[in-house]
Amino acid sequence: MLAAERVRGESMNSGAGAEGLPLADQYASVRAASEALVAPLDAEDCALQSMPDASPAKWHLAHTSWYFETFALEQGVPGYRPLDPRYRSLFNSYYQGVGPQYTRAQRGMLTRPTLREVFAYRRHVDRHLQELLDKEADLEPELRALIELGLHHEQQHQELMLTDIKHLFSLNPCAPIYRERAESPAQEIEALAWHAVPEGECEIGWAGPGFAFDNEGPRHRVFIESFLLASRPVSNGEYRLFVEAGGYAEPEHWMADGFAAVREKGWRAPLYWEGEAGNWRAHSLAGLQALADDEPVCHLSWYEADAYARWAGARLPSEAEWERVASTQPISGNFAESGRFHPAPMPRGTDAMTGLFGDVWEWTGSSYSPYPRYRPPTGAVGEYNGKFMSNQFTLRGGSCATRRSHIRASYRNFFYPAARWQFSGVRLARDPD
């Protein structure tokens, strides 16, 4: 990347939702964090799209600026003029209420605008937005809410940038390295402990104060039968046994659609694994490294998580079960702030509940659907979450690519059941004997 475009190091403990920070400081921190993520990349890295579900890093940088221009500047600054009217469709992701969008699967064809021009676009938006935020006390509540949503939206795209760069680099035979990291020697891990949770009524969903996405509410009551929840996520070593036992060839463990995906796509192990028994290696943002048995297994689809759970004589927890336990735990773990961008070895010698937050998103057995009395916001931002509440499953807890300031126990991530390029893993649940 051009030296003039390199970014100063960001404060690793700040960002959207940072306690007590003025909105202007949160904005500056989040924007700097995005640009810090592309600092190790060159223009060629930022322009490519490895598959239709991924986007070029350059597009992420532009789209997050498009959000602030479209929803904050055009509504909050009288007479605001966009830097380039063509960007309105080029960098619109899926907001039908805003206008047309450039074809998602062809974002990698956009050699122009150049990376330099995208950075100029960001500077343009930043300048006008900061002028708006200099008068934070005068912001209308609706505009402030749109800006705050934009900050958390950009943090989501920071994680997407990392997952998309990882997928892109994994396809390169040169095995490029995004960030160096020492290899961890493979170790066996101790057996899972099971935590019994009694039956009872509880409340789930966001209750405030502070920010939450609309799909996290309304808070509501649910009754949960007694269940057992594993003390930690499933490890690479444990999942390796499923792979080496022929789990991908045995249809009895799989949903019908899942086994069809296995055959159609040729899956035989999690995404990024290569090799064979005794010599497994995995692609990471630190290049191709030996598989570490004591790290949480990562990059599983819902189909794979569910199949493993069946093979192991267990099941996936429901959203409500997961949140009931997580709401009693501190939000700590291996997040993006660590700079590792890879699941960390799990603690040994403890039966305590660990890893509910950070490291890997944990698939649940719950479909992504609206909570009781849910209503999407009015206007184009109502398309943010609500229109995707079909044919997807929820994940909880955040990952090693999620920023700590972005996550909470009520946070609902969601993907289609075949998606596995995200940092997604599995924690088991069981019914009492």
Q: What is the CATH number of the domain that holds 68?
A: 1.20.120
> How is residue 131 written in tokens?
């002028």
Q: How far apart are CA 41 and CA 169, in angstroms?
A: 11
> Per DSSP, what are the bridge partners of residue 289?
282
| Domain shared by 159 and 60, yes or no | yes
Residue-wise burial string across 127-141, b where 16 or more C-beta atoms lie within 10 A, e elsewhere: ebbeebbeeeeebee
Q: What is the CATH number of the domain that holds 303?
A: 3.90.1580.10
| Domain shared by 154 and 263, yes or no | no
pTM for the full predicted model: 0.94
SS3 assignment, position 268: coil
Please name the amino acid found at residue 20: G
> 184 in a domain, yes or no?
no
Written as tens digits, the pLDDT of the chain (433 aa) is 333 333 333 333 457 766 578 999 999 999 999 999 999 999 999 999 999 999 999 999 999 999 999 999 999 999 999 999 999 999 999 999 999 999 999 999 999 999 999 999 999 999 999 999 998 999 999 999 999 999 999 999 999 999 999 999 999 999 999 999 987 776 778 889 999 999 999 999 998 899 999 999 999 999 999 999 999 999 999 999 999 999 999 999 999 999 999 999 999 999 999 999 989 999 999 999 999 999 999 999 999 999 999 999 999 999 999 999 999 999 999 999 999 999 999 988 888 999 999 999 999 999 999 999 999 988 878 888 889 999 999 999 999 999 999 999 999 999 999 999 999 999 999 999 8
> 45 in a domain, yes or no?
yes
Residue 383, pLDDT score:
82
Q: How far apart are CA 204 and CA 395, in angstroms?
A: 15
Residue 288 Cα to chain centre, angstroms: 22
Count structural domains, the chain: 2
Q: Tell me which DSSP letter residue 296 carries.
A: B
* Backbone φ and ψ of 55, nearest 5°: -135, 150
> 177 in a domain, yes or no?
no
| Domain shared by 205 and 147, yes or no | no
3-state helix, strand, coil in the chain (%, to 5): 40, 10, 50
Last residue of a domain, one of 170, 185, 207: 170
Residue-wise burial string across 406-420, b where 16 or more C-beta atoms lie within 10 A, e elsewhere: bbbbbbbbbbebbbb
> 180 in a domain, yes or no?
no
| Domain shared by 116 and 219, yes or no | no
CB atoms within 10 A of CB 149: 20
SS3 assignment, position 79: coil
Residue 305, pLDDT score:
98
> How is residue 409 written in tokens?
């126990």
| Domain shared by 165 and 266, yes or no | no
For 392, the domain range is 194-430
Sorted by sequence, the CB contacts under 8 Å of residue 84 that are 6+ apart come out as: 113, 121
| Domain shared by 399 and 317, yes or no | yes
> How is residue 341 written in tokens?
């961008």
Q: How far apart are CA 54 and CA 271, in angstroms?
A: 15
